[in-house]
Structure 1
Amino acid sequence: MNRAVVVPLRWIVLVAAAVVSLFPIYWMVMSSFRTHEEIFRYTTLSKELFLPVHWTLGNYREIFLDPAKPFGRYILNTLLVAVVVTAAGLVVNSMAAFAFAKLRFRFKRGLLALFLSSLVIPYEVIMVPQYLLMRDLGWINDYRALIVPQIVWVFGIFMLIQFFADVPRDILDAARIDGAGWARIYGVIVLPTAVPALITLGIMTFLNQWDSFLWPLVVINEEKKQVIQVAISSYQSLRNISWGKIMAATTISSVPILAVFLLLQRYYVQGITMSGVKG
């Protein structure tokens, strides 16, 4: 096929795929400015389907001014949990990955295989014993129950192992000969080279915690300590579904994720490529 024809055809396919991917997000945002009655009134291709007829901020006012469901508090709760888990997870998981990738100790291969085997265990299987552990520790309805169990992430360790494995061993041996300890090698030599991988893991961890639903639903019963995804689900019941509130709340909850990804997408792509993890 002529190259002059292939290039425009490729762009047409890419634009069409982008429109199909982005339209649900666009429809969600536009629906957040509609009244509850108007959201599903227009179903045919027309101007009213793409733009609200009667623009309103009522949905946003309702979710932020409702004293029974303080949406602003939910955002702060989720942000606190996501930031702390991300920061602590980067430290703990990177140290574990460095140990598995570069240190020599007995039974390393067996421990790594046993550790990675937990990836095939569904989360629902370990949720009950994990809940019982949180209960015995007295952490139910406590932020520690949301933070501590989520810090260690086996997939994150595996991803960083793939990256650390590419760090030349000769550099580490030279540093050891010069008298540097493993802690200094880890902090001064290895971590600076792993910035793309760490940013990638940070984005993925933050996204997982921001979208977390099942575990917070189980361990948090107090309304003021709940997270944003559980709060959004509370806008629907068997008798009534407040679609306007759901669209407004979902739109707001999408902003931090999109902002983080757009700011760091270059490092995210680079980290995925360099770590050798493709999905």
Structure 2
Amino acid sequence: MNRIYTCGRWMVMILIALVSVAPILWMVAGSFRPYQELFKYTSLDIHLIVPVEWTAKNFHQVIFNARDPFLRYIWNTLFVATVVTFLVLVINSMAAFAFAKLRFRLKSVVFALFMSAMIIPGEVTLVPNYLLMHDLGWLNSYKALIVPSMLSVFGIFMLRQFFAEVPNEMMEAARIDGASLPRTFLSIVLPAAVPALITLGLMTFLGNWDSYLWPLIVINDQKMQMIQVGISTFSSNEGTDWSKVLAANTISTAPILLLFLFLQRYYIQGITMSGIKG
């Protein structure tokens, strides 16, 4: 019975994995097809996934498109996502440390106000944020993409849960040894929350890599645009040539998949843990 149960569980897991991966496989396969072949095979056939005629022309036309500088879109997105991720980890880790370990007046009230911001949909803040960027003169600049994204209420909450589990005795011992508060934060608290930091970093990087609506609103210069907006513009310019659109999506998806493959162990650990144990 145990063997039957194990086999059944593995079959279900494999089926779920195939259903999840099938759209990605079709996207990658479609990016190597000529347009005439893309929708030719619609039934359950091997050529639904494996192209009959392989071609790399779609990638060449996407990457070296003079009208839509796709490599520029990738660089813009990589720059903004990297800077935002770094600032989020720095600022939110310090805020979470303050809420978890420091004592100050009205701490519970301030933290409750922070948490209440999580129930506000992002669409509600689009107009106020746009007006603020306009008043600051930051429209059509990287500052409009970076500064509003530096604070993550969920990130503060998640890191606070990890920092709260760090024994106070360790911090007290560091203070007795002469370590300053910043030194204690860098040497004791942060190393204990590495899985949470990597998880927050991955989520932040992915969110900015896939950002579409906010860059579409605040960026007008085509050369400064983000990759998702660039893909949509490429799609509208190219009409119904979905092979090039699939090639553009394959290029934009590859960095995220590689990043997740290298850091998935820490990501899963950060998601499943509610704090540091022991």
Counterpart check, 1:250 vs 2:231? no
The answer to whether the 8 A contact 2:83-2:146 is kept is yes
Does residue 187 in structure 1 map to residue 180 in structure 2?
no
The answer as to whether partners of 1:98 and 1:161 remain within 8 angstroms in 2 is yes
Give yes or no for contact 2:139–2:218 (8 Å, CA) kept in 1.
Answer: yes
Q: Which residue of 1 aligns with 2:57?
A: 58
1:72-87 equivalence runs, <5 A: 72-87=71-86
* CA distance in 2 between partners of 1:156 and 1:206 (Å): 13
1:224-245 Cα distance to aligned partner (Å, 9 max, x none): 0001111111133399233111
Q: CA offsets, 1:125-154, max 9 Å, x none? A: 111110111111111110111111111111
**Structure 1 equivalent of residue 262 of structure 2:** 263
Q: Which amino acid aligns with 1:217?
A: L
- SS of alignment partner, residue 141 of structure 1: coil
Given that residues 101 and 163 in structure 2 are in contact (C-alpha distance below 8 angstroms), is that contact kept between their aligned partners in structure 1?
yes
CA contact (8 A) 2:85 2:201 kept: yes
One-letter amino acid of the counterpart of residue 262, structure 1: L
Fraction of identical pairs, as percent: 58
Residues 234-245 of structure 1 correspond to what in structure 2 (within 5 A)? 234-237=233-236, 240-245=239-244
TM-score under structure 2 length normalisation:
0.95
Q: Cα 1:239–1:157, aligned 2, differ >3 Å: closer, same or farther?
A: same
What SS does the corresponding residue of 1:44 show, helix, strand or coil? coil
Q: Measure, in 1, the Cα distance between the counterparts of 2:187 and 2:158.
A: 20
Task: List aligned pairs for 1:21-32, cutoff 5 A.
Answer: 21-32=20-31
The aligned residue for residue 101 of structure 2 is 102
Q: Check if 1:170 corresponds to 2:203.
A: no
Map 1:6-155 → 2, pairs under 5 A: 6-155=5-154
Q: Secondary structure at the match of 1:216?
A: helix
Distance (Å, rounded) in 2 between the aligned partners of 1:155 and 1:170: 27
- Give the unaligned 5+ runs of structure 2: none
Return the offset for 1:273: 2.3
User: 1:44 Cα deviation (Å)?
Assistant: 1.3
After superposition, give the CA deviation of every residue in 1:69-100 in whole Å (9 maximum; x if it has no partner): 00000000000001111111100010000000
Instruction: Render the CA deviation track for 1:42-69: whole Å, top value 9, x for unaligned.
Output: 1112232121122111211111111110
Question: How many Å separate the matches in 1 of 2:2 and 2:178?
Answer: 59
C-alpha contact (below 8 Å) 2:32/2:56 kept by paired residues: yes
After superposing the two structures, state which structure 1 stretch, 239-248 or 41-50, moved more: 239-248
Whole-Å separation in 2 of the counterparts to 1:274 and 1:148: 30
Hey, what's the Cα distance between the residues in 2 that align with 1:163 and 1:261?
A: 22
What letter is aligned with 1:236? S
**What is the CA–CA distance in structure 1 between the aligned matches of 2:36 and 2:150, rounded to whole Å?**
43
* TM value normalised by structure 1: 0.95
> Which is further off, 30-39 or 73-82?
30-39
Superposition deviation, residue 41 in structure 1: 1.7
Q: Distance in 2 between matches of 1:50 and 1:177?
A: 64
The residue type equivalent to 2:90 in the other structure is: V
Indicate if the aligned counterparts of 2:68 and 2:234 stay in contact, CA closer than 8 A.
no
The amino acid that maps onto 2:272 is T
Contact preservation (8 Å) 2:89, 2:201: yes
Runs (5+) with no aligned partner, structure 1: none
Whole-Å Cα distance in 2 between the matches of residues 226 and 255 of structure 1? 19
How far apart are the structure 2 equivalents of 1:46 and 1:274?
42
What is the identity, as a one-letter code, of the residue corresponding to 1:161? Answer: R
Measure the CA separation in 2 of the matches of 1:54 and 1:64. 21
CA–CA separation in structure 1 for the residues paired with 2:238 and 2:28: 25
- Cα displacement string for residues 93-132 of structure 1 (whole angstroms, at most 9, x for unaligned residues): 1000000011000000000000111000000111111011
The alignment's C-alpha RMSD in Å is 1.4
8 Å CA contact 1:197, 1:275 repeated in 2: no
Amino acid at match of 1:125: V
* Alpha-carbon distance in structure 1 between the residues aligned to 2:233 and 2:112: 41
Contact between 1:32 and 1:247, CA under 8 Å: does it hold in 2? yes
Distance in structure 2 (CA, Å) of the matches to 1:226 and 1:155 = 27
